[in-house]
Structure 1
Amino acid sequence: MHLDVVENLTATRKKLLHEISGLSDEKLNKKLDEDTWSLAQVCHHLYLSESVFTQAIIYGLSKSNGRKAEPVPVQLAADRSQKAKAPEIVAPGDDHLDYQQIKELLNKSRNLFLEFYNQLEDKSILAEKSTKHPIFGYMPLDQWVELIYLHEERHIKQIKEIKSQL
């Protein structure tokens, strides 16, 4: 699983950066309406989410009485037909971000995750412990890892939708 995880994270991030590279600051920060995030806000949300997911996984591993949860259908995270409101903790701000700032934020959260993940000697422990997700409920920690790139896939689709309307 380890190699697949890193490959999927790398491929998804490459797609994300490809979608936003070369866009002007104006396009990156333009909101189509009050209820729609700008491209920069979508990316800020991904940075916040990956940071929180990493913290949640670390927390789940640290629980001495951590219980094993049944797998949940995390693939639904990539389905844009199912709308979900982002929890406040991962809601993006209104800060104006340029491409370089976005890239730095995304690199920061990815590096923190990979630093933790690569130090984990026995990755099978991730399937044995769980913690609660705000949408999926209790889920195994290995699915939290999978959710990082599935969630990013979801928002790449959103970015494409927004770009087509800019």
Structure 2
Amino acid sequence: MNKSVNDNLYETRNDLVKEIVLLSDTQFNSKPDMNKWSIAQVCHHLVLVEKASIKAIAWGLKEIDSTRVERKKVNLILLDRTKKFKAPKIVEPDEDSFEVQQIVYLLKDSRKKLISFLNTIEDKSVLAEKSMKHPALGELPLDQWIEQIYLHERRHIEQIKEIKLLL
């Protein structure tokens, strides 16, 4: 896999863990208001997105008649926090409380599974050739599905910083 993609996945996840690891479980589960997610829920959402992305990439790789699609400026779309997205049901976080260490474990586990999965792809060039429909971004080349994981995480790290200021 592309070194910068690996570096971005690693760096972003480290930044995320640094943002949450010193929080108490109470802070972690506090909602800034009733209609907003807690930091715990934001993190659970990130775990669910990573797992769903692995499935989507796997499905995309199996598609025989998947066509090459135009690349999108995923970074501009995802890092623009003035543009709001509604999370699909499949990646909506639980309402339950979480412990910080429990989420740190889930984050480590989902990232380990992503890296293991990506390491099973022998010909990485196929990731740019095949595509899969993304719920928020439309038809995306599979390599951009990988890119959107850490960009989406960056977006939510900024959200977490904002929530921390409100607590």
Shorter-chain TM-score range: over 0.9
Task: Tell me the equivalent position of 2:13.
Answer: 13
Task: For 2:24 and 2:100, locate their aligned partners in 1 and report how far apart those are by CA, in whole Å.
Answer: 8
Q: Does 1:71 align with 2:71?
A: yes
Task: For 1:119 and 1:8, locate their aligned partners in 2 and report how far apart those are by CA, in whole Å.
Answer: 19
Q: Does 1:127 align with 2:167?
A: no
Q: Does 1:150 align with 2:148?
A: no
Task: For 1:165 and 1:135, locate their aligned partners in 2 and report how far apart those are by CA, in whole Å.
Answer: 27
Shift in Å, 1:36? 0.8
| Count of aligned pairs between the two proteins | 166
Whether contact under 8 Å (2:21, 2:101) holds in the other structure is no
Q: Unaligned 5+ residue runs, structure 2? A: none
TM-score normalised according to structure 2 size: 0.97
- Deviation digits for residues 65-120 of structure 1, max 9, x if unmatched? 11111111211112211111111110001111111100111112111110111121
Q: Unaligned 5+ residue runs, structure 1? A: none
Q: Which runs of 4+ in 1 moved over 2 A?
A: none
Q: Does 1:29 align with 2:29?
A: yes
Task: For 2:24 and 2:58, locate their aligned partners in 1 and report how far apart those are by CA, in whole Å.
Answer: 37
- Deviation digits for residues 1-52 of structure 1, max 9, x if unmatched? 6111110000000000000111100000001111110000000000000000
Whether contact under 8 Å (2:131, 2:139) holds in the other structure is yes
TM-score normalised according to structure 1 size: 0.97
Q: How does 1:72-91 map to 2 (within 5 A)?
A: 72-75=72-75, 76-91=77-92
Provide the alpha-carbon RMSD of the alignment.
0.9
- % of aligned pairs identical? 51
